[in-house]
Amino acid sequence: MSELERQIDELAEILRTGPRIAVLTGAGISAESGIPTFRGKDGLWREFRAEELATPQAFFGNPGLVWQWYDWRRGIIGAKEPHAGHYVLARWERHFPDFVLITQNVDGFHRRAGSRNVLELHGNIWEIRCTREGTIAENTECPFREIPPHCPSCGALLRPNVVWFGESLPSETLEEATAASATCEVMFVIGTSAYVQPAASLPVIAAERGAKVVEINPEPTPLSSTADFSFQAKAGEILPLIDERLLAGRTGT
Ligand code: OAD
């Protein structure tokens, strides 16, 4: 038996006891769907880093430029599909009695894969918000006819309903995510560089409260050395392997 198989067996045995589970995902889980990560080599749009465009200052300084970036990202996301890893997490929501999925991703893939309760810490790229009235609407227009788009009712600028650097996360969502992290027995950390706060603190909270931390990421992160299980591989490969092992144990095969 390889070291990987041994680790998966050990983890599947823990999962078979039906522990309380929290999962934190980041851009890496969507990488295999063909969405560039933020800090990966393909994460740049033109010459800009996310930190330069995903801010209120950038938006109000040059809304057209920032909307072009979102329009480009919506175009990529809209043309791609969730993958096996997203589907495993959607199945686990129905399988485990206590399962909370927390994501930093704004792409909506978890919902498209069938996950129903998703705590979207950074919002959703398929929603728009009026900068004057604060009204939020679903919007899948892609590409936009008019950039930057304006509110049909009051004429003010519309913005993507996402959280930008320097802005607060939706407080209720963050509270729920923190509570789930503090009370879970197993925390999966999948495809995040564990760099952007406050999301990066959630696995730390879980570990401090005694949860087993399971990281899935082909690259080492600040969490890797302290994680109980560190799978340095792709989410779309490891999650189905764990799921298969879990099901094999249940049916006795
Ligand atoms: P990053 O781009 O910082 O990190 C993506 C992580 O995914 C890296 O650690 C990669 O090694 C890993 N990765 C790549 N391919 C993978 C795969 N197939 N399976 C598993 N992991 C893989 O993305 P985030 O950590 O999500 O915020 O970034 C956090 C936040 O910073 C984003 O939500 C966004 C960004 O700026 C805002 O826009 C507010």
SS3 157: strand
122 given a catalytic annotation: yes
245 CA → ligand 1 middle, Å: 27
Task: Give me the catalytic one of 83, 110, 122, 150.
Answer: 122
188 CA → ligand 1 middle, Å: 14
Per-residue pLDDT tens listing for the chain (253 residues):
899 999 999 999 999 999 999 999 999 999 999 998 887 777 777 778 888 999 999 999 999 999 999 999 999 999 999 999 999 999 999 999 999 999 999 999 999 999 999 999 999 999 999 999 999 999 999 999 999 999 999 999 999 999 999 999 999 999 999 999 999 999 999 999 988 999 999 999 999 999 999 999 999 999 999 999 999 999 999 999 999 999 997 654 4
Of the candidate CATH numbers 3.30.1600.10, 3.60.15.10, 3.40.1230.10, 3.40.50.20, the domain formed by 36-79+123-162 belongs to: 3.30.1600.10
Domains of the chain, by residue range, sit at 1-35+82-122+170-253, 36-79+123-162
- Amino acid of residue 228: D
d(C-alpha 228, C-alpha 65), whole Å: 43
Give the pLDDT score at 1: 82
User: For a pocket test of ligand 1, which of 89, 124, 163, 193 has the largest count of ligand atoms closer than 8 A to its C-beta?
Assistant: 193
d(C-alpha 52, C-alpha 74), whole Å: 18
d(C-alpha 165, C-alpha 54), whole Å: 6
Give the pLDDT score at 157: 98
Nearest CA to ligand 1 atom 31: 196
User: For a pocket test of ligand 1, which of 38, 109, 197 has the largest count of ligand atoms closer than 8 A to its C-beta?
Assistant: 38
d(C-alpha 32, C-alpha 42), whole Å: 13
Query: Which residues' Cβ are closer than 6 Å to ligand 1?
Result: 26-29, 31-32, 37-40, 43, 50, 54, 104, 122, 163, 165, 190-193, 195-196, 216-219, 221, 234-235
- Amino acid of residue 247: L
d(C-alpha 237, C-alpha 83), whole Å: 10
Give the pLDDT score at 250: 60
Q: Which CATH superfamily is domain 1-35+82-122+170-253 in?
A: TPP-binding domain (3.40.50.1220)
1-35+82-122+170-253 matches 36-79+123-162 in fold: no
Minimal CA–CA distance to 115: which of 79, 83, 152, 89? 89
Give the pLDDT score at 252: 46
20 CA → ligand 1 middle, Å: 24
Give the pLDDT score at 221: 96
53 CA → ligand 1 middle, Å: 16
Locate 5 and state its tokens.
Answer: 């198989």
Q: What angle do CA 102, 197, 87 make, to 5 degrees?
A: 25
